[in-house]
Structure 1
Amino acid sequence: MGRVGSLLLCGIVLSGLVAGTGRAADGAVTMNATVDGAPVGADVLVLAPGGSSRISVTVHNGTAATRYVKTIRLSGTALALPFFSYDTTIPFEVPAGRSVTRGFVLDLAQLGGQATGLLPARLQVLDANRDVIAAVSATADVRGSTWSVYGLFGLALAVLAALAWAAALLALARQRLPASRWRRALRFLPAGVGSGLAAVVLLSALRVVTPTPVAEAVLVLGCAAVALVLGALTPPPETVEAPLADPEATQRLRPVAGRGA
Protein backbone atom coordinates (compact mmCIF):
# COMPACT_ATOMS: atom_id res chain seq x y z
CA MET A 1 0.00 0.00 0.00
CA GLY A 2 2.88 2.33 0.73
CA ARG A 3 4.33 1.92 -2.75
CA VAL A 4 0.92 2.29 -4.35
CA GLY A 5 0.30 5.46 -2.38
CA SER A 6 3.66 6.85 -3.39
CA LEU A 7 2.98 6.11 -7.05
CA LEU A 8 -0.43 7.77 -6.82
CA LEU A 9 1.10 10.81 -5.15
CA CYS A 10 3.75 11.10 -7.87
CA GLY A 11 1.08 10.79 -10.54
CA ILE A 12 -0.96 13.55 -8.98
CA VAL A 13 2.07 15.85 -8.74
CA LEU A 14 3.13 15.14 -12.34
CA SER A 15 -0.39 15.70 -13.65
CA GLY A 16 -0.54 19.00 -11.75
CA LEU A 17 2.77 20.07 -13.28
CA VAL A 18 1.58 19.16 -16.77
CA ALA A 19 -1.69 20.97 -16.24
CA GLY A 20 0.14 24.00 -14.89
CA THR A 21 2.43 24.00 -17.92
CA GLY A 22 -0.61 23.82 -20.23
CA ARG A 23 -2.26 26.71 -18.44
CA ALA A 24 0.91 28.77 -18.70
CA ALA A 25 1.14 28.05 -22.42
CA ASP A 26 -2.54 28.91 -22.85
CA GLY A 27 -2.19 32.29 -21.20
CA ALA A 28 -4.20 35.41 -21.87
CA VAL A 29 -3.79 38.48 -24.03
CA THR A 30 -3.33 41.62 -21.96
CA MET A 31 -2.58 45.23 -22.75
CA ASN A 32 -1.50 48.52 -21.25
CA ALA A 33 -1.74 51.97 -22.73
CA THR A 34 -0.85 55.62 -22.25
CA VAL A 35 -2.65 58.78 -23.32
CA ASP A 36 -0.37 61.78 -23.73
CA GLY A 37 2.19 59.90 -21.64
CA ALA A 38 -0.18 59.18 -18.72
CA PRO A 39 -0.83 55.48 -17.96
CA VAL A 40 -4.42 54.45 -18.55
CA GLY A 41 -6.02 53.12 -15.38
CA ALA A 42 -3.58 54.57 -12.86
CA ASP A 43 -5.14 58.03 -12.56
CA VAL A 44 -8.10 59.94 -13.92
CA LEU A 45 -7.77 60.18 -17.70
CA VAL A 46 -8.29 63.78 -18.83
CA LEU A 47 -9.86 64.09 -22.29
CA ALA A 48 -9.94 67.66 -23.59
CA PRO A 49 -12.09 68.24 -26.68
CA GLY A 50 -10.88 70.48 -29.45
CA GLY A 51 -7.44 68.90 -29.66
CA SER A 52 -5.62 65.64 -30.29
CA SER A 53 -4.28 63.02 -27.93
CA ARG A 54 -1.30 60.76 -28.48
CA ILE A 55 -2.28 57.19 -27.60
CA SER A 56 0.22 54.35 -27.23
CA VAL A 57 -0.98 50.74 -26.87
CA THR A 58 1.13 47.70 -25.96
CA VAL A 59 -0.44 44.27 -26.45
CA HIS A 60 1.07 41.25 -24.65
CA ASN A 61 0.26 37.88 -26.21
CA GLY A 62 0.56 35.12 -23.62
CA THR A 63 -1.12 32.51 -25.81
CA ALA A 64 0.43 29.91 -28.11
CA ALA A 65 -1.08 31.43 -31.28
CA THR A 66 -0.55 34.67 -33.15
CA ARG A 67 -3.28 37.25 -32.50
CA TYR A 68 -4.34 39.74 -35.15
CA VAL A 69 -5.46 43.22 -34.11
CA LYS A 70 -7.45 45.40 -36.50
CA THR A 71 -9.08 48.18 -34.45
CA ILE A 72 -8.36 50.17 -31.31
CA ARG A 73 -11.44 51.62 -29.60
CA LEU A 74 -11.81 54.32 -26.95
CA SER A 75 -15.32 54.53 -25.46
CA GLY A 76 -17.20 55.91 -22.46
CA THR A 77 -20.48 54.69 -20.98
CA ALA A 78 -22.97 55.50 -18.24
CA LEU A 79 -26.16 53.67 -17.25
CA ALA A 80 -25.07 50.97 -19.74
CA LEU A 81 -25.39 53.52 -22.58
CA PRO A 82 -22.42 54.55 -24.77
CA PHE A 83 -21.96 58.31 -24.92
CA PHE A 84 -18.75 58.46 -26.93
CA SER A 85 -16.81 55.96 -28.99
CA TYR A 86 -13.79 56.33 -31.30
CA ASP A 87 -12.56 53.51 -33.51
CA THR A 88 -9.12 53.70 -35.13
CA THR A 89 -8.08 51.07 -37.68
CA ILE A 90 -4.47 49.99 -37.09
CA PRO A 91 -3.93 46.41 -38.35
CA PHE A 92 -1.02 44.54 -36.77
CA GLU A 93 -0.24 41.07 -35.48
CA VAL A 94 1.16 39.97 -32.13
CA PRO A 95 3.17 36.72 -32.29
CA ALA A 96 2.82 34.13 -29.56
CA GLY A 97 4.71 35.08 -26.42
CA ARG A 98 5.59 38.53 -27.76
CA SER A 99 4.56 42.14 -27.09
CA VAL A 100 3.89 44.74 -29.77
CA THR A 101 3.45 48.50 -29.28
CA ARG A 102 1.56 50.83 -31.61
CA GLY A 103 0.94 54.55 -31.31
CA PHE A 104 -1.45 56.93 -33.02
CA VAL A 105 -2.97 60.38 -32.72
CA LEU A 106 -6.70 60.58 -31.89
CA ASP A 107 -8.70 63.66 -32.87
CA LEU A 108 -11.15 64.58 -30.08
CA ALA A 109 -12.68 67.61 -31.75
CA GLN A 110 -16.26 66.23 -31.54
CA LEU A 111 -16.02 65.03 -27.94
CA GLY A 112 -17.22 68.34 -26.48
CA GLY A 113 -20.71 67.84 -27.90
CA GLN A 114 -20.95 64.22 -26.78
CA ALA A 115 -20.17 64.11 -23.07
CA THR A 116 -18.92 66.01 -20.04
CA GLY A 117 -17.84 65.11 -16.52
CA LEU A 118 -16.63 61.81 -15.09
CA LEU A 119 -17.35 58.68 -17.13
CA PRO A 120 -16.09 55.09 -17.03
CA ALA A 121 -13.90 54.65 -20.11
CA ARG A 122 -12.40 51.61 -21.82
CA LEU A 123 -9.56 51.27 -24.29
CA GLN A 124 -9.96 48.03 -26.28
CA VAL A 125 -8.19 46.18 -29.08
CA LEU A 126 -10.47 44.26 -31.47
CA ASP A 127 -9.86 41.66 -34.14
CA ALA A 128 -11.30 41.52 -37.67
CA ASN A 129 -14.58 40.10 -36.34
CA ARG A 130 -15.00 43.05 -33.93
CA ASP A 131 -14.39 40.76 -30.97
CA VAL A 132 -12.52 42.26 -28.01
CA ILE A 133 -9.03 40.79 -27.62
CA ALA A 134 -7.94 42.80 -24.59
CA ALA A 135 -9.06 45.92 -22.75
CA VAL A 136 -8.03 48.34 -20.02
CA SER A 137 -10.45 50.47 -17.98
CA ALA A 138 -10.11 53.95 -16.52
CA THR A 139 -12.11 56.92 -15.27
CA ALA A 140 -12.25 59.65 -17.90
CA ASP A 141 -12.64 63.32 -17.03
CA VAL A 142 -14.24 64.71 -20.18
CA ARG A 143 -13.94 68.50 -20.40
CA GLY A 144 -16.98 68.84 -22.64
CA SER A 145 -19.92 71.22 -22.79
CA THR A 146 -22.84 71.29 -20.36
CA TRP A 147 -25.11 71.24 -23.42
CA SER A 148 -23.56 68.03 -24.71
CA VAL A 149 -25.68 64.93 -25.33
CA TYR A 150 -24.77 63.63 -21.87
CA GLY A 151 -25.55 66.93 -20.15
CA LEU A 152 -28.92 67.28 -21.91
CA PHE A 153 -29.71 63.67 -21.04
CA GLY A 154 -29.22 64.47 -17.36
CA LEU A 155 -31.40 67.60 -17.57
CA ALA A 156 -34.15 65.61 -19.31
CA LEU A 157 -34.07 62.98 -16.55
CA ALA A 158 -34.30 65.74 -13.92
CA VAL A 159 -37.35 67.26 -15.64
CA LEU A 160 -39.08 63.87 -15.86
CA ALA A 161 -38.36 63.19 -12.19
CA ALA A 162 -39.78 66.60 -11.21
CA LEU A 163 -42.95 65.92 -13.20
CA ALA A 164 -43.34 62.52 -11.53
CA TRP A 165 -43.01 64.10 -8.07
CA ALA A 166 -45.49 66.85 -9.02
CA ALA A 167 -48.04 64.28 -10.21
CA ALA A 168 -47.71 62.22 -7.02
CA LEU A 169 -47.97 65.25 -4.71
CA LEU A 170 -50.92 66.65 -6.66
CA ALA A 171 -52.74 63.35 -6.26
CA LEU A 172 -51.99 63.52 -2.53
CA ALA A 173 -53.34 67.06 -2.25
CA ARG A 174 -56.52 66.15 -4.12
CA GLN A 175 -57.14 63.03 -2.01
CA ARG A 176 -56.79 60.80 -5.08
CA LEU A 177 -54.20 58.37 -3.77
CA PRO A 178 -55.26 54.73 -3.27
CA ALA A 179 -56.48 53.65 0.13
CA SER A 180 -53.98 50.78 0.21
CA ARG A 181 -50.67 51.75 1.80
CA TRP A 182 -48.72 49.52 -0.63
CA ARG A 183 -50.41 51.06 -3.67
CA ARG A 184 -49.68 54.55 -2.37
CA ALA A 185 -46.02 53.59 -2.04
CA LEU A 186 -45.98 52.32 -5.62
CA ARG A 187 -47.55 55.61 -6.74
CA PHE A 188 -44.35 57.38 -5.62
CA LEU A 189 -41.94 54.78 -7.04
CA PRO A 190 -41.53 56.31 -10.57
CA ALA A 191 -40.54 59.62 -8.99
CA GLY A 192 -37.88 57.90 -6.89
CA VAL A 193 -36.42 55.93 -9.80
CA GLY A 194 -36.36 59.05 -11.97
CA SER A 195 -34.61 60.99 -9.20
CA GLY A 196 -31.98 58.27 -8.90
CA LEU A 197 -31.27 58.21 -12.64
CA ALA A 198 -31.06 61.99 -12.76
CA ALA A 199 -28.71 62.01 -9.76
CA VAL A 200 -26.39 59.52 -11.48
CA VAL A 201 -25.98 61.71 -14.57
CA LEU A 202 -25.95 65.11 -12.87
CA LEU A 203 -23.43 64.11 -10.18
CA SER A 204 -21.27 62.65 -12.94
CA ALA A 205 -21.51 65.83 -15.03
CA LEU A 206 -20.59 67.88 -11.96
CA ARG A 207 -17.56 65.59 -11.38
CA VAL A 208 -18.79 64.44 -7.97
CA VAL A 209 -19.40 60.72 -8.54
CA THR A 210 -18.22 58.39 -11.30
CA PRO A 211 -21.22 56.40 -12.61
CA THR A 212 -19.83 52.93 -11.98
CA PRO A 213 -22.37 50.08 -11.75
CA VAL A 214 -22.08 50.10 -7.95
CA ALA A 215 -22.66 53.87 -7.70
CA GLU A 216 -25.58 53.66 -10.11
CA ALA A 217 -27.23 50.87 -8.12
CA VAL A 218 -26.78 52.71 -4.81
CA LEU A 219 -28.24 55.98 -6.11
CA VAL A 220 -31.17 54.50 -8.02
CA LEU A 221 -32.15 51.92 -5.38
CA GLY A 222 -31.63 54.44 -2.57
CA CYS A 223 -33.88 57.06 -4.17
CA ALA A 224 -36.47 54.40 -5.01
CA ALA A 225 -36.49 53.19 -1.40
CA VAL A 226 -36.94 56.74 -0.07
CA ALA A 227 -39.84 57.31 -2.46
CA LEU A 228 -41.50 54.05 -1.40
CA VAL A 229 -41.23 54.96 2.28
CA LEU A 230 -42.62 58.46 1.69
CA GLY A 231 -45.51 57.04 -0.31
CA ALA A 232 -46.30 54.50 2.38
CA LEU A 233 -46.29 57.21 5.06
CA THR A 234 -48.76 59.46 3.24
CA PRO A 235 -52.19 59.61 4.86
CA PRO A 236 -54.99 57.65 3.19
CA PRO A 237 -57.73 59.64 1.46
CA GLU A 238 -60.54 60.77 3.74
CA THR A 239 -63.77 58.84 3.34
CA VAL A 240 -66.93 61.00 3.13
CA GLU A 241 -69.89 59.37 4.91
CA ALA A 242 -73.26 59.53 3.17
CA PRO A 243 -75.83 61.72 5.07
CA LEU A 244 -78.50 59.87 7.00
CA ALA A 245 -82.03 59.99 5.59
CA ASP A 246 -84.47 62.41 7.29
CA PRO A 247 -87.19 60.26 8.97
CA GLU A 248 -89.75 63.14 8.87
CA ALA A 249 -89.21 63.61 5.13
CA THR A 250 -89.67 59.88 4.65
CA GLN A 251 -93.00 59.97 6.51
CA ARG A 252 -94.20 62.95 4.45
CA LEU A 253 -93.41 61.13 1.22
CA ARG A 254 -95.36 57.98 2.13
CA PRO A 255 -98.94 59.36 1.75
CA VAL A 256 -97.97 61.11 -1.45
CA ALA A 257 -96.76 57.83 -2.81
CA GLY A 258 -100.04 56.24 -1.70
CA ARG A 259 -102.23 58.84 -3.44
CA GLY A 260 -100.20 58.47 -6.59
CA ALA A 261 -100.82 54.75 -6.49
Structure 2
Amino acid sequence: MGRVIAAGVALGLCGVLLGAPPASAQSGSAPSGSLGVQVSIDRRPIADVTVPIDPAKQVELQVVATNPGTAPVKVRSVRLSGVALALTFFAYDTTAPFEVPARGSTTRTFVLDLGDLAGQATGLLPSSVELLDAQRATLGEATTVADVQGSFWSVYGVFGLAMLVLTVLAWLTALLALARHRLAPNRWRRGLRFLPAGFGTGLVAVISLSVLRLVPPEPAIEIPVVLGAAAIAFLLGYLTPHPAAPAAAAAGDGATVRLPVPSTQEFTR
Protein backbone atom coordinates (compact mmCIF):
# COMPACT_ATOMS: atom_id res chain seq x y z
CA MET A 1 0.00 0.00 0.00
CA GLY A 2 2.79 2.39 0.90
CA ARG A 3 4.49 1.81 -2.44
CA VAL A 4 1.28 2.59 -4.34
CA ILE A 5 0.88 5.86 -2.43
CA ALA A 6 4.50 6.78 -3.02
CA ALA A 7 4.12 6.04 -6.73
CA GLY A 8 1.06 8.30 -6.99
CA VAL A 9 2.80 11.18 -5.26
CA ALA A 10 5.91 10.62 -7.37
CA LEU A 11 3.86 10.94 -10.56
CA GLY A 12 2.61 14.33 -9.43
CA LEU A 13 6.16 15.40 -8.59
CA CYS A 14 7.47 14.29 -11.98
CA GLY A 15 4.79 16.43 -13.59
CA VAL A 16 6.07 19.47 -11.70
CA LEU A 17 9.78 18.96 -12.29
CA LEU A 18 9.88 17.31 -15.71
CA GLY A 19 6.60 18.07 -17.42
CA ALA A 20 7.40 21.51 -18.82
CA PRO A 21 10.53 22.42 -20.76
CA PRO A 22 12.44 25.52 -19.74
CA ALA A 23 11.31 28.83 -21.15
CA SER A 24 14.59 29.23 -23.01
CA ALA A 25 14.04 25.94 -24.80
CA GLN A 26 10.57 26.97 -25.85
CA SER A 27 11.73 30.30 -27.22
CA GLY A 28 14.65 28.64 -28.94
CA SER A 29 12.35 26.31 -30.85
CA ALA A 30 10.25 29.14 -32.28
CA PRO A 31 10.75 30.06 -35.95
CA SER A 32 13.15 32.85 -36.83
CA GLY A 33 10.26 35.11 -37.87
CA SER A 34 8.68 35.18 -34.41
CA LEU A 35 5.95 37.70 -33.69
CA GLY A 36 5.28 40.14 -30.92
CA VAL A 37 1.84 39.54 -29.44
CA GLN A 38 -0.47 41.83 -27.49
CA VAL A 39 -3.76 40.38 -26.28
CA SER A 40 -6.92 41.83 -24.79
CA ILE A 41 -9.75 39.79 -23.29
CA ASP A 42 -13.10 41.57 -23.19
CA ARG A 43 -11.23 44.74 -24.21
CA ARG A 44 -8.86 44.57 -21.22
CA PRO A 45 -5.12 44.00 -21.82
CA ILE A 46 -3.91 40.82 -20.14
CA ALA A 47 -0.31 41.88 -19.53
CA ASP A 48 0.68 41.85 -15.83
CA VAL A 49 -2.90 41.47 -14.58
CA THR A 50 -5.20 38.68 -13.43
CA VAL A 51 -7.92 38.12 -16.01
CA PRO A 52 -11.30 36.82 -14.77
CA ILE A 53 -12.88 34.22 -17.05
CA ASP A 54 -16.50 33.21 -16.56
CA PRO A 55 -17.28 30.01 -18.48
CA ALA A 56 -20.95 30.98 -18.60
CA LYS A 57 -20.15 33.95 -20.84
CA GLN A 58 -18.54 34.26 -24.24
CA VAL A 59 -15.06 35.79 -24.31
CA GLU A 60 -13.94 38.40 -26.82
CA LEU A 61 -10.28 37.78 -27.61
CA GLN A 62 -8.39 40.50 -29.49
CA VAL A 63 -4.90 39.75 -30.78
CA VAL A 64 -2.42 42.29 -32.16
CA ALA A 65 0.50 40.55 -33.91
CA THR A 66 3.60 42.58 -34.77
CA ASN A 67 6.20 41.32 -37.24
CA PRO A 68 9.66 42.91 -36.79
CA GLY A 69 11.18 40.76 -39.55
CA THR A 70 11.72 41.40 -43.23
CA ALA A 71 9.42 38.62 -44.47
CA PRO A 72 5.68 38.14 -43.95
CA VAL A 73 4.59 35.51 -41.43
CA LYS A 74 1.52 33.32 -41.87
CA VAL A 75 -0.53 32.43 -38.79
CA ARG A 76 -2.83 29.43 -38.96
CA SER A 77 -4.49 29.29 -35.54
CA VAL A 78 -4.74 30.90 -32.11
CA ARG A 79 -4.57 28.88 -28.89
CA LEU A 80 -5.77 29.85 -25.41
CA SER A 81 -4.46 27.46 -22.74
CA GLY A 82 -4.02 27.17 -18.98
CA VAL A 83 -1.27 25.23 -17.22
CA ALA A 84 -0.71 24.20 -13.60
CA LEU A 85 1.98 21.90 -12.20
CA ALA A 86 3.29 21.54 -15.76
CA LEU A 87 -0.03 19.97 -16.82
CA THR A 88 -2.37 21.58 -19.35
CA PHE A 89 -5.86 21.72 -17.85
CA PHE A 90 -7.57 23.55 -20.69
CA ALA A 91 -6.74 24.48 -24.27
CA TYR A 92 -8.87 26.07 -26.99
CA ASP A 93 -7.66 26.30 -30.59
CA THR A 94 -9.30 28.61 -33.11
CA THR A 95 -8.36 28.15 -36.76
CA ALA A 96 -8.33 31.57 -38.40
CA PRO A 97 -5.52 31.93 -40.96
CA PHE A 98 -4.08 35.40 -41.48
CA GLU A 99 -0.80 36.94 -42.56
CA VAL A 100 1.29 39.52 -40.73
CA PRO A 101 3.21 41.73 -43.20
CA ALA A 102 6.92 42.43 -42.82
CA ARG A 103 7.60 45.26 -40.37
CA GLY A 104 3.88 45.60 -39.83
CA SER A 105 1.08 44.49 -37.54
CA THR A 106 -2.30 42.81 -37.84
CA THR A 107 -5.27 42.88 -35.48
CA ARG A 108 -7.76 40.05 -35.23
CA THR A 109 -10.77 39.61 -32.92
CA PHE A 110 -12.28 36.25 -31.97
CA VAL A 111 -15.31 35.30 -29.91
CA LEU A 112 -14.73 32.15 -27.84
CA ASP A 113 -17.36 29.94 -26.26
CA LEU A 114 -15.76 28.53 -23.08
CA GLY A 115 -18.87 26.82 -21.72
CA ASP A 116 -17.13 23.53 -20.91
CA LEU A 117 -14.29 25.30 -19.06
CA ALA A 118 -16.30 25.04 -15.83
CA GLY A 119 -15.66 21.30 -15.78
CA GLN A 120 -11.95 21.61 -16.54
CA ALA A 121 -10.45 24.11 -14.12
CA THR A 122 -11.09 26.56 -11.31
CA GLY A 123 -9.03 29.17 -9.48
CA LEU A 124 -5.86 30.94 -10.57
CA LEU A 125 -4.02 29.34 -13.48
CA PRO A 126 -1.04 30.61 -15.51
CA SER A 127 -2.41 31.02 -19.03
CA SER A 128 -1.16 31.98 -22.46
CA VAL A 129 -2.40 33.00 -25.90
CA GLU A 130 -0.24 31.55 -28.67
CA LEU A 131 -0.10 32.12 -32.41
CA LEU A 132 0.64 28.89 -34.28
CA ASP A 133 1.77 28.20 -37.83
CA ALA A 134 0.75 25.31 -40.08
CA GLN A 135 3.22 22.97 -38.32
CA ARG A 136 1.78 23.88 -34.88
CA ALA A 137 4.98 25.72 -33.96
CA THR A 138 4.64 28.79 -31.75
CA LEU A 139 5.18 32.07 -33.60
CA GLY A 140 4.55 34.27 -30.58
CA GLU A 141 2.68 34.29 -27.30
CA ALA A 142 1.37 36.48 -24.50
CA THR A 143 1.12 35.19 -20.93
CA THR A 144 -1.13 36.09 -18.03
CA VAL A 145 -2.88 34.63 -14.98
CA ALA A 146 -6.49 33.60 -15.49
CA ASP A 147 -9.03 33.55 -12.67
CA VAL A 148 -11.22 30.71 -13.91
CA GLN A 149 -14.61 30.80 -12.21
CA GLY A 150 -15.24 27.11 -12.74
CA SER A 151 -16.58 24.28 -10.61
CA PHE A 152 -14.81 22.86 -7.58
CA TRP A 153 -15.54 19.42 -9.06
CA SER A 154 -13.65 20.25 -12.24
CA VAL A 155 -10.71 18.17 -13.43
CA TYR A 156 -8.32 20.49 -11.60
CA GLY A 157 -10.35 20.36 -8.38
CA VAL A 158 -10.65 16.56 -8.45
CA PHE A 159 -6.92 16.31 -9.14
CA GLY A 160 -6.29 18.33 -5.99
CA LEU A 161 -8.61 16.10 -3.95
CA ALA A 162 -6.84 12.99 -5.23
CA MET A 163 -3.47 14.42 -4.22
CA LEU A 164 -4.90 15.26 -0.78
CA VAL A 165 -6.10 11.68 -0.24
CA LEU A 166 -2.76 10.22 -1.35
CA THR A 167 -0.88 12.63 0.90
CA VAL A 168 -2.99 11.78 3.97
CA LEU A 169 -2.46 8.07 3.32
CA ALA A 170 1.28 8.62 2.91
CA TRP A 171 1.47 10.39 6.28
CA LEU A 172 -0.66 7.71 7.96
CA THR A 173 1.50 4.85 6.71
CA ALA A 174 4.71 6.63 7.74
CA LEU A 175 3.42 7.56 11.20
CA LEU A 176 1.96 4.09 11.82
CA ALA A 177 5.31 2.56 10.94
CA LEU A 178 6.93 4.97 13.40
CA ALA A 179 4.46 4.11 16.17
CA ARG A 180 4.91 0.36 15.64
CA HIS A 181 8.71 0.66 15.51
CA ARG A 182 8.81 -0.74 11.97
CA LEU A 183 10.95 1.94 10.37
CA ALA A 184 14.33 1.02 8.99
CA PRO A 185 17.30 1.23 11.38
CA ASN A 186 19.15 3.39 8.84
CA ARG A 187 18.42 7.12 9.23
CA TRP A 188 18.55 7.80 5.48
CA ARG A 189 15.99 5.09 4.78
CA ARG A 190 13.74 6.51 7.49
CA GLY A 191 13.99 9.91 5.83
CA LEU A 192 13.10 8.42 2.45
CA ARG A 193 10.05 6.79 4.04
CA PHE A 194 8.69 10.26 4.90
CA LEU A 195 9.72 11.83 1.58
CA PRO A 196 6.54 11.00 -0.48
CA ALA A 197 4.38 12.53 2.25
CA GLY A 198 6.42 15.73 2.02
CA PHE A 199 6.12 15.90 -1.75
CA GLY A 200 2.38 15.37 -1.50
CA THR A 201 2.07 18.09 1.13
CA GLY A 202 3.82 20.55 -1.17
CA LEU A 203 1.60 19.66 -4.13
CA VAL A 204 -1.56 19.99 -2.05
CA ALA A 205 -0.39 23.37 -0.75
CA VAL A 206 0.24 24.66 -4.29
CA ILE A 207 -3.15 23.46 -5.57
CA SER A 208 -4.99 24.79 -2.51
CA LEU A 209 -3.47 28.26 -2.89
CA SER A 210 -4.51 28.22 -6.54
CA VAL A 211 -8.09 27.07 -5.97
CA LEU A 212 -8.53 29.57 -3.12
CA ARG A 213 -7.32 32.29 -5.53
CA LEU A 214 -4.42 33.33 -3.33
CA VAL A 215 -1.30 32.43 -5.35
CA PRO A 216 -1.09 31.09 -8.93
CA PRO A 217 0.89 27.85 -9.39
CA GLU A 218 3.79 29.35 -11.31
CA PRO A 219 7.13 27.48 -11.45
CA ALA A 220 8.88 30.15 -9.38
CA ILE A 221 6.44 29.37 -6.55
CA GLU A 222 5.44 25.73 -6.92
CA ILE A 223 8.93 24.25 -7.18
CA PRO A 224 10.30 25.88 -3.96
CA VAL A 225 7.11 24.97 -2.07
CA VAL A 226 7.17 21.32 -3.15
CA LEU A 227 10.90 20.87 -2.61
CA GLY A 228 10.77 22.72 0.73
CA ALA A 229 7.95 20.51 2.04
CA ALA A 230 9.80 17.42 0.85
CA ALA A 231 13.00 18.52 2.61
CA ILE A 232 11.13 19.11 5.88
CA ALA A 233 9.47 15.69 5.71
CA PHE A 234 12.79 14.01 4.95
CA LEU A 235 14.38 15.78 7.93
CA LEU A 236 11.55 14.63 10.20
CA GLY A 237 12.06 11.05 9.09
CA TYR A 238 15.82 11.35 9.47
CA LEU A 239 15.48 12.59 13.06
CA THR A 240 12.98 9.94 14.19
CA PRO A 241 14.28 7.72 17.03
CA HIS A 242 15.92 4.41 16.30
CA PRO A 243 13.17 1.77 16.07
CA ALA A 244 15.16 -0.79 18.10
CA ALA A 245 15.55 1.45 21.15
CA PRO A 246 12.03 1.01 22.63
CA ALA A 247 12.14 -2.74 22.04
CA ALA A 248 15.46 -3.00 23.82
CA ALA A 249 14.14 -0.99 26.75
CA ALA A 250 11.05 -3.19 27.00
CA ALA A 251 13.19 -6.29 26.95
CA GLY A 252 15.33 -4.85 29.71
CA ASP A 253 12.30 -4.10 31.88
CA GLY A 254 10.94 -7.62 31.60
CA ALA A 255 14.25 -9.46 32.05
CA THR A 256 14.87 -11.60 35.13
CA VAL A 257 17.67 -10.29 37.29
CA ARG A 258 19.74 -13.01 38.93
CA LEU A 259 21.76 -12.13 41.96
CA PRO A 260 25.10 -13.82 42.44
CA VAL A 261 25.07 -16.69 44.91
CA PRO A 262 27.88 -16.49 47.46
CA SER A 263 30.30 -19.34 47.15
CA THR A 264 30.52 -21.86 49.97
CA GLN A 265 33.78 -22.96 51.44
CA GLU A 266 34.51 -26.16 53.35
CA PHE A 267 36.56 -26.00 56.51
CA THR A 268 38.39 -29.06 57.80
CA ARG A 269 39.52 -29.48 61.30
Which band: TM-score by shorter chain? 0.7 to 0.9
- Within 5 Å, give how 1:32-181 maps onto structure 2: 32-181=38-187
Matching residue of 1:218? 224
* Aligned-partner Cα distance in 1 for 2:81–2:34: 22
DSSP 3-state at the match of 1:130: coil
Counterpart code for 1:38: R
- Segments of structure 2 that go 5 or more residues without pairing to the other structure are 1-31, 259-269
Shift of 1:209: 1.2
Matching residue of 1:196? 202
Q: What's the CA shift string for 1:218-258, capped at 9, x where partnerless?
A: 110111011011111211113446969x9xxxxxxxxxxxx
- Higher Rg of the two aligned structures: 1
DSSP 3-state at the match of 1:216: helix
Counterpart code for 1:46: P
* TM-score, structure 1 as length reference: 0.81
* Aligned-partner Cα distance in 2 for 1:136–1:236: 54
Counterpart code for 2:92: Y
* Aligned-partner Cα distance in 2 for 1:123–1:89: 13
Shift of 1:51: 1.3
* Aligned-partner Cα distance in 1 for 2:186–2:134: 58
Shift of 1:204: 0.5
Q: Which has the higher contact order (CA 8 A, sep 6+)?
A: 2
Instruction: Report percent identity of matched pairs.
Output: 51
Moved over 4 A (4+): 241-244
The root-mean-square deviation of aligned C-alpha atoms, in Å, is 1.9
DSSP 3-state at the match of 2:242: coil
* TM-score, structure 2 as length reference: 0.79
User: In the alignment, is the contact (CA less than 8 A) between 1:151 and 1:202 conserved in 2?
Assistant: no
DSSP 3-state at the match of 1:140: strand
Counterpart code for 1:190: P
DSSP 3-state at the match of 2:191: helix
The yes-or-no answer on 1:184 pairing with 2:190 is yes
* Aligned-partner Cα distance in 1 for 2:43–2:35: 22
- Segments of structure 1 that go 5 or more residues without pairing to the other structure are 1-25, 247-261
